[in-house]
Structure 1
Amino acid sequence: MTEAQGSAGAEHARYAPGTPCWVSLMVHGLEATQDFYRGLFGWEFRPGPQQLGPYVRALLDGREVAGIGTLPRGRQLPVAWTPYLASDDADTTAETVRLCGGTIGVGPLDAAEAGRMAIGSDPAGAVFGIWQGAAHVGAAVSGVPGTPAWNELRTFDTVGVTKFYETVFGFEAEGAGSTDTDYVTLRVGGRPVAGVLGMGDALPRDRGPHWTTYFEVDDPDTALERVTELGGQVLSPARDAEHGRVALVTDPEGARFALVRSVR
C-alpha cells in the first residue's frame, strides 16, 4: 500500500495509465460535506469543472487532492467515493470497458480544459472513473495527511474481475500467495497502485462490490473521534494491519472511506 503513492509530500506531473489519479464524491449537501472534510482533513475548496453540476476541488496547502460534487436532484444514487484511473485515451478505454463486460454510465465527455472523463462499472457492478488529464492531471500531492493513500476494490471474488482490470488498464496482478486470503495487488510498471479483496458472502449486501479509498492521517484513533464529532460514523475501530493502522468510517451522508496511518 505505502509504495503506491510515493514518498511523503510527493508531487505528480503525470500518472501512468491505470494508476488511480483522483478521487471524487457526489453528495446531496455540498456545503455540509465541505464542512465535514474541512474539519477532518483541513481541506480548503475552490470551484471545479461544472459539467456534472456544482463541483469543488479540495486542496491542501493550495494543491488539489480530491473533488466533491452535487448529485442530480431526484436521482437516488449511492453516495460513495469513486477512484479515477488514468488513461491516455478515455474514449478507447471506455470502449474497452464495454467490450470486456463492463458498462459506461457517463461520458466520455470533456471537463472544460481540465481533461476528458467517463464513469463506468466493472462486470460485478463496482463503479470507477476514467480520467484523461489535460490541464488537470489528477491529485497534485500524496503521502501526507489528508491525501488519498490507497484504493481497494471489495468484491465477491478476485478471479473474474481482476482479469477485467488487467485487460482494460494493463495492470499486472499479483496474488496474496495465501490460500486464506483472496487478495490481489494491482501493479503498474511493477509498482503497487491498488488492491482487490474478495470477500465472498462477507461482502455487505447493501453495498455490493465497491471501491474503498484510504486517506492518510497522522493518528487514526484521534481521527475517529473527530469523525464522530463532525457527524460521521465509525464502522470499524482502528486496528493494526500489515500496511499500517486502519479504520473504516462514513461521512454524514453515508459515504464509506478508510483512514490509515501508513507504515513507512
Structure 2
Amino acid sequence: MTEAATRRTPGTPCWVSLMVHGLAATEEFYGALFGWEFEPGPQQLGPYVRGLLDGKEIAGIGQLPPDRHLPIAWLTYLATDNADLTAETIRSCGGTVGVGPLDAAAAGRMAIAADPAGAVFGIWQAAAHTGTAVAGAHGTPVWNELITRETSSVDTFYKALFGYDVEAVVSADFDFLTLRLRGRPVASLHGVGRGLTRDRGAHWMTYFEVADTDTAARLVTELGGQVLQQPREGANGRHATVADPEGAVFTIVRSADR
C-alpha cells in the first residue's frame, strides 16, 4: 500500500463519506466488497464510522435520522486550509453552504456545500484527521470526477475556490476538463449534456480501485447492489459504474498503470 501525503494542497480531494439509513448493512456490503474494517468516528451528526484498511482510514459512513430522506450518495471532500474562508468564497461565487462550517471533534473543521449547478461536495480543514490515509490499493478512492451538464457553467466556480489550472480536451463532442494543482492532476469535470439524468442531477463521482473490475462487479450484485454500466475499457483502466443496496452510485476501476 502507498501512504498518502499527510497535508493536502487546498483543492485536492482528501476524503469521501456516505450517509445511509442502514449503517450495519452498509458496513457489511463495503466490508465484503473492499475488505474494510470499521471503527467509530466523530458523532456530531449522528452515528458515524470510518472504514479502515490495515488500520488506516479510507472513508466514512454515517447513519441518517429516520425522518431524513436525503439522496444516498458518496460525498467528495476537498481540502482547505480555512473552512470558514472557503465557505464565504463558495457563497460569493454562486454556490450554497448547507451544513457548517462546524468542528468534527478534534478531527477537523468541515462544511457541506453545492456548486452553482447543484453538485454537492464537502470541504475539509484537517486537524487530527488528515483524510484518506492509503492510495492505490484495492478498496481505496483513486479519482473524483464532477458529472455536470456543461463544464463551462462551473469551471470558473472551482477555479475561484482553489486556483486550479484547467486542462481541456479539445473535442467538438467531448466536454472534459482536468483540474491540476502544482502540475498534478487531482480531479476532473465532465459535461454530459442531456446525458445528465434528472433524478441525480449534477454530482461528484468517486472512483474506487479494485484488483479486478469484472470480479468486483459480480460481487456487487451478489451483495445486493446493482451494476449500472457493465465493465468496459477506458483511458485510465477497466471500470464499471455500480450502486450499493441503498442506491449510492460509485465507479470501480482497475487502473491502467497497476
What TM-score range do you get, normalising by the shorter chain? over 0.9
- Which position in structure 1 is the counterpart of 2:158? 165
Number of equivalences: 257
Residue 241 of structure 2 corresponds to 248
> Hey, what does 1:4 align to over in structure 2?
none
- Output the aligned Cα RMSD: 0.8
Which residue, out of 69, 74, 77, partners 1:81? 74
Structure 2 unaligned blocks of 5 or more: none
- Show CA shifts across 1:132-156 (max 9, x none): 0000010011111100010000000
Structure 2 residue aligned with 1:94, among 67, 87, 90? Answer: 87
Deviation at 1:169, TM superposition (A): 1.7
SS at match of 1:178: coil
CA distance in 2, matches of 1:154, 1:9: 28
How many Å separate the matches in 1 of 2:179 and 2:84?
Answer: 22
Counterpart code for 1:105: G
Could you tell me which amino acid in structure 2 is paired with residue 203 of structure 1? L
Task: Return the match for 1:206 from 196, 199, 207.
Answer: 199
TM-score (norm 2): 0.98
The residue that corresponds to 1:258 in the other structure is 251
Cα deviation for residue 73 of structure 1 reads: 2.5
TM-score by length of 1: 0.96
CA distance in 2, matches of 1:106, 1:169: 20
Which residue, out of 98, 103, 109, partners 1:105?
98
What is the CA-CA distance between 1:190 and the residue it aligns to? 1.1
Q: Share of identical aligned residues, percent?
A: 65
Q: How far apart, CA to CA, are the structure 1 residues paired with 2:72 and 2:55?
A: 26
Deviation (angstroms), 1:76: 1.2
Name the amino acid aligned to 1:241: G
Residue 15 of structure 1 aligns with an amino acid whose one-letter code is R
Q: Find the residue that maps to 2:154 and give its secondary structure.
A: helix
For 2:3, the aligned partner's letter is A
Contact in 2 for aligned 1:12/1:139 (Cα 8 Å): no
Which structure 1 residue ranges, 5 or more long, are not aligned? Answer: 1-7
CA distance in 2, matches of 1:191, 1:73: 42
Highest RCO, 1 vs 2 (Cα 8 Å, sep ≥ 6): 1
